[in-house]
Each structure stands twice: as C-alpha cells, then as structure tokens.
Amino acid sequence: MPPRYGPGVLGGSESVMREAALGLAARGHEVEVVTTCAVDHYTWENELPEGTSEEDGVVVRRFPVLRHPSRVARQAQESIGSGVVPDLDRQVSWLGSQFACPGLFEHLLRHGASYESIVFSPYLFWTTTVCVPYQAERAVVIPCLHDETYARLEVVRPVLAAPMLVWFLTGPEHRLAHRLGPVSPRHSVTGAGVPVPRCYDPAGFLKKHNMRRPFVIFAGRREAGKGGFEDACWAAGELGMDVVSIGKGALAPELADRVLDRGFLADEQRNDAFAAASALVQPSRMESFSRTVMEAWLAGTPVLSVADSAVVAWHCQRSGGGLIFGDRYELADALRQLRVDGRAAQMAAAGRRYVIENYTWPSVLDRMEASLGATFGAAAGE
C-alpha cells in the first residue's frame, strides 16, 4: 500500500512497491494496489481519478486525499525540521499534516480481512503510520528508514514494532531500526530489486547533450539531505571535469553556472547518462537502499560515497565498487585515483557483479515469497 503509485511516480520506495507488485503478479499471485490519487509528493494534489482500474494486470484502487494543515501541525513540522522531537500532542497533529485519506482507511477497515497480507511502504506517510496499527496482524512494512528526527517520533514506533513482518533493504537500515526501539520479531533483510537494462548508449548521450569533457553525475531528487554539489564542483574542477545533475527539483541559483542540469530523464536516457559518467557521486546521508547506486554499477560506473552515509558506504565496502570520501579534498583524491590509477573499470565490474548477485528482481522476489510463506502460510509462497 504505497501513498503514490504508477509509472509517472518518482521515489525509491514507490519504485520498489510497483516493481514488487508487478513481479509477484507475474508469478501468479493475486495482487491489488490500494493507494491515493496523488502523484506529486510536494503538492499531494488529486491528479489521478478516484476508483478502481487495472494497470499492467494489477488491480489498483485509488482514493482521494484531503489536506487540513493546522497551526499545531506546522509547529510540529518546524520542530522536526530543526531536529527536535515535538511533544506527543503535536506529533499526533503532525500525522495528517501532509495529507489524510479517509476513503482508503475505511476500505481497509471494511475489507482488510480479505487480504492475506498487506504491504505498506515507506514508514513516514499517513498511509503507513495511521493504517498499520489497524491491520497489524496482516501487515508487512518496508520502512525505507533513515537516521532522522522523523524516525524518533513516538507515533512512528508502531510502524516497526506492531506489524506481523518487516522487510529491510540493507544491513545498516536493519541495525538502525534496532537502535531506535522495538522491532517486530519477524523481520529480515530482503533487499530491493533493480531492473537490468539490455543495453547502453553512452556515446549517444554525449552526442545528444554536446558533452566533450569527462563528468561526474548526481542523480535523484534535489531536496534537503540530497545535496553535496558544492564539494563535487570544487573536486571536479580540480581535475578538469564537469558535474552533471539529473532528476526532479530545482537546483540552487548559485549552482546554475557550475552544474550541467539535464533535468528529469526517461529511464533509457538515465541509464545512458550513468554509462557515460566517470563516476556517480552519492553524497546523501539519508539512504535506506540507494537505487541510483545500483543503476550506476549496472551501467559500468564506479561510485563515490560520502563516509557518513552508512548504507552507501556499506554497499561500497561489500562490493568493492566504489570509494568513500569525507570532504572535498578526499573526493578530489578519489576522483584522481579513478582517473590516474585506472581503478575505475575494476571497481565498476565489481559493482555490477554485486548488483547481479544480490539485487535483481528474481532473487529479491524469491526472498519475499519465502518470507511471506513462512509468516502467513504456504499459500503465500505458492
């Protein structure tokens, strides 16, 4: 039960939910998606029609969202934004501050027992925080947990403690959950799947965008916690390289003349961009899996991870597919190693092997099916 669903919806957890739903349906499971009419996680406007439809062989039930921002909810959000956990009353007000979806909630109360299991993700939104406690006996949560103030709210604790089953995407996310508080006794690290492209055209990308210098690439939403351009611009400039950004959201005005902004790219173009890059720079500390890292490795591109991103550093260390940096000087040194020492191809090959061995959808779906079967009975794994 994702808060948003569909091919035009951007977001790591939303991609995992959609691809898992389609994958399980293709394996013969009866799958329904219960979600909202929203597409944009900034506005939460009801852009898609309410009602039931079939999309790619999966039944999708959409319900409209309602928004009732309040002064108390805004105060709670400001407190969370500053790193301070608000009192419980304000936390409760905050729960519905982005949106609520009463029709979806009523549907779960009326028809929840007809589902053998209900998968919720991510942990942060109303569709999970409010609904999981009412369907705990059949709930499966993919939290996509970050080390952030939101994860320390009392109203969020039931999302990890109450469900019948919790699926984590990485070891560091699993360990973070246990540091934060109680976790459901039934939990495992399933990982997430990443589609494997059939081919890449890096030369075509360079020609289309008239790019002649080597470049490092940033990918994903440009929002708080996903930055790091300043250090990359300095480090790349030291080596005569460009910095390319792809994804949604506006770049800061002061970066407009320092970053080559290619905006949102369709999947094929995005894959070609990864293949053309000298390295993916992943400076985000707020990661539970980091799909872009997997996509870069599949494209044959090494990864440079900020040291205090527990998840991405974990991937780099396990795979041998990247280097870790602490500041702009270490980032410049890492780029120099890739270019001068000729380590890029070796790291890229190790990274691709790591993804193929651990994070393709067939292997992840096998783990999900085994977990469902062990928890809810043999029928779930048929």
List, for residues 193-232, the tens digit of each pLDDT value: 999 999 999 999 999 999 989 999 988 665 544 456 778 8
Show the CA angle centred on residue 313, arms to residues 310 and 318, nearest 5°: 120
Using an 8 Å Cβ cutoff, are 151 and 145 in contact?
A: yes
Q: Work out the number of other CB atoms within 10 angstroms of the CB of residue 54.
A: 8
Name the pTM for this structure. 0.91
Q: Work out the number of other CB atoms within 10 angstroms of the CB of residue 150.
A: 16
Structure tokens belonging to residue 375: 């928890």
Find, among 297, 302, 258, 300, the residue nearest to 281 by Cα: 302
Residue 16 clears pLDDT 70, i.e. is over it: yes
Q: Amino acid identity of 326?
A: G
List, for residues 258-299, the tens digit of each pLDDT value: 888 888 888 999 999 999 999 999 888 889 999 999 999 999
Q: Work out the number of other CB atoms within 10 angstroms of the CB of residue 234.
A: 15
Superfamily of domain 12-193+360-381: Glycogen Phosphorylase B; (3.40.50.2000)
Query: With the C-alpha atoms ordered 142, 145, 150, 155, is the resulting torsion angle positive or negative?
Result: positive
Q: Bridge partners of 245?
A: 218, 261
Predicted pLDDT at 175: 97
Q: How far is residue 30's CA from residue 186's CA, in Å, rounded to a whole number?
A: 23
Q: What is the DSSP string of 131-171?
A: TGGGGGGGEEE-----SSGGGG-GGGHHHHHSSSEEEESSH
Residue 68 clears pLDDT 70, i.e. is over it: yes
Strand spans (E) along 239-317: 242-246, 260-263, 279-282, 303-306
How many Cα neighbours within 13 Å face the side chain of 104? 29
Domain-by-domain residue ranges, the chain?
A: 12-193+360-381, 202-358
Domain 202-358 carries which CATH code?
3.40.50.2000
Q: Amino acid identity of 339?
A: R
List, for residues 152-169, the tens digit of each pLDDT value: 999 999 999 999 999 999
Confidence of residue 377 (pLDDT cuts 50, 70, 90): confident
Fold agreement between 12-193+360-381 and 202-358: yes
Mean residue pLDDT of the chain comes to 91
Mean pLDDT computed over 322-347:
88
User: Which residue is it, tokens 């549907």?
Assistant: 107
Q: How far is residue 71's CA from residue 82's CA, in Å, rounded to a whole number?
A: 17
